[in-house]
Amino acid sequence: MPQAPADVADQVAALAANVRGVFVGREETVDLLLCALLAEGHVLIEDAPGVGKTTLARALARSVDCDFKRIQFTPDLLPSDITGVSIFDQSRKEFVFQPGPVFANVVLADEINRTNPRTQSSLLEAMSDAAVSVDGATRPLPRPFFVLATQNPYEFEGTYPLPESQLDRFLLRLSVGYPSPEQELEVLRAQEVRHPLEDLGPVVHGEDVLAMQAATRRVRADESILEYVVNIAQASRRAPELSVGVSPRGSLALRRAAQALALVRGRDYVVPDDVKELALPVLAHRVVPEDTARGAQRRAEEALQGILDALPVPL
């Protein structure tokens, strides 16, 4: 029998506390990362190098006693380097499949915009289907399966920006941001002798994460919340600043993410503030501004923020 949200609340809190014990930065970043994990989605982090993206991914993987793989994306990376390849075994006289790094529970796809679109698509297809197809055979990926991809938004030479249709595969698009002076001092002190990651141990198992994900689907969203989500999507399709508004898949993603955020915050029901907090990280990369020159992400966020400010909030 699926567990109720209240039954997994302590495990969710322990997971959040464990990650925060290593990652020093904005608390909402950890909340949103766990939100994507519980909602069975994936995260794209856009930020400068050195702000803690890899630490965040490794802290999550170590907190959940599971397999972690890091893929460094480069221009010469091939799809088979991600999904795996069949190699002929002389002793057995047959081809044997060697799984690639995507066959892990937590996958860090570092600098995903540095590789070609064909290789990008191989990962994004795996994210969408939770399986890979190699040599005519479909192989399911392990569960839970969570991808945290990163890209540097400040470099354009030698990069391949993800098109909107592929960005849509990510539940959330986040920015870690620079730490405050106090937080940066804390980082310097914490890593004086060794990295805190070396002492970080798991607090939950993969089966526990699956139970949390099942409980997330049982978090209550009132009819007024669903109407609020639909009103946001409908308003985005009429907004003159946007040439492409939020799709029904975007509405589903916002509802699912709001359920997860409610559970992360210790509730078994969604409130309007959950939807408002998630609207930009969930929807801004799914819409297309009229002007698609540089700064498109910022203009998309401004258009959505205007919609949120104008729409009445359900009581």
Q: What is the pLDDT of residue 53?
A: 83
pLDDT along the chain (315 residues), means of 10: 79 92 84 95 86 84 90 91 87 84 92 88 87 85 92 71 83 87 85 82 91 94 96 95 92 97 95 96 92 75 93 89
Type of residue numbered 29 = T
Q: What is the pLDDT of residue 156?
A: 62
Assign 3-state DSSP to the chain and report helix, strand, coil percentages, each to 5: 50, 15, 35
On whether both 156 and 43 belong to a single domain, the answer is yes
CA count, 13 A, side-chain hemisphere, 71: 34
Note down the domain range covering 305. Answer: 220-315
| Counted domains in the chain | 2
Q: What is the pLDDT of residue 77?
A: 92
User: Cα-flanking dihedrals φ and ψ of residue 72, to 5°?
Assistant: -90, 110
On whether both 209 and 279 belong to a single domain, the answer is no
8 Å CB contact between 192 and 52: no
Q: What residues contact 93, with CB distance under 8 A and at least 6 apart?
A: none
Pairing of strands 242-244, 204-205: unpaired
Burial class of residue 124 (count of CB atoms within 10 Å of its CB; 0-12, 13-18, 19+): buried
Q: Which residue has the tokens 């898949």?
A: 249
On whether both 165 and 245 belong to a single domain, the answer is no
CATH code of residue 1: 3.40.50.300
On whether both 105 and 24 belong to a single domain, the answer is yes
8 Å CB contact between 216 and 269: no
On whether both 309 and 262 belong to a single domain, the answer is yes
**Structure tokens given for 294:** 């540089």
**Is residue 197 in a domain?**
no
Q: What is the pLDDT of residue 196?
A: 81
Q: What is the pLDDT of residue 152?
A: 79
Q: What residues contact 13, with CB distance under 8 A and at least 6 apart?
A: 266
On whether both 177 and 110 belong to a single domain, the answer is yes
Q: Tell how far CA 258 is from the center of its chain.
A: 14
On whether both 27 and 153 belong to a single domain, the answer is yes
Q: What is the pLDDT of residue 24?
A: 81
CATH code of residue 243: 1.10.8.80
Q: What is the pLDDT of residue 134?
A: 81
Q: What is the pLDDT of residue 1?
A: 58
The answer to pTM > 0.85 is: yes
Q: Tell how far CA 299 is from the center of its chain.
A: 22
CA count, 13 A, side-chain hemisphere, 174: 29
On whether both 226 and 178 belong to a single domain, the answer is no
Last residue of a domain, one of 218, 240, 261: 218
**Structure tokens given for 11:** 């495990």
Nearest in space to 261 (alpha carbons), one of 286, 282, 278: 278
**Is residue 210 in a domain?**
yes
